[in-house]
């Protein structure tokens, strides 16, 4: 098995400090997550996720993500910050991957670059 993996490199990971990453340069504003909250709401209601907070407007759950963008603006990898809700983390990563596909302003470099973004899911209490 090790011989089969010898030529395979591990996928790149984002830097430890995400605060230094530039915001993901969307060409068009994507949906903010407010209309995409039904899955997250169901996960919280079922007790599979305890990361949502209750505000005066209802429940709020924010997921931060790092996005590796290749030359030409193609998203290559999306890494959610852990919030102890794997299903919600992966859901958010899939949404950002879809939102970014064909919607990222190409960078001015020929190298892959990491960016940051977030999704905020909200629903009534």
pTM: 0.86
3-state secondary structure 38-101: HHHHHHHHCCCCCCCEEECCEEEEEEEEEEEECCCCCEEEEEECCCCCHHHHHHHHHHHHHHHC
Residue 46, number of CB atoms within 10 A of its CB:
9
Write the pLDDT tens digit of every residue in 26-47.
Answer: 998 876 655 789 999 999 999 9
> What percent of the chain shows pLDDT beyond 70?
87
Write the pLDDT tens digit of every residue in 2-11.
Answer: 445 556 677 7
Write the pLDDT tens digit of every residue in 106-116.
Answer: 776 678 999 99
Res 76: pLDDT: 93
Res 1: pLDDT: 44
């Amino acid at each position: 098995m090790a011989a089969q993996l010898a030529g395979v490199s591990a996928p790149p990971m984002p830097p430890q400090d995400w605060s230094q990453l530039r915001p993901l340069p969307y060409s068009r504003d994507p949906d903010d997550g407010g209309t995409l909250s039904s899955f997250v709401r169901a996960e919280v209601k079922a007790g599979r996720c305890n990361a949502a907070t209750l505000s005066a407007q209802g429940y709020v759950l924010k997921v931060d993500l790092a996005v590796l963008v290749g030359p030409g603006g193609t998203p290559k990898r999306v890494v959610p910050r852990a919030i102890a809700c794997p299903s919600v983390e992966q859901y958010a990563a899939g949404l950002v991957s879809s939102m970014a596909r064909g919607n990222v302003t190409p960078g001015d470099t020929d190298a892959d670059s990491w960016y940051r973004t977030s999704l905020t899911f909200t629903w009534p209490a």
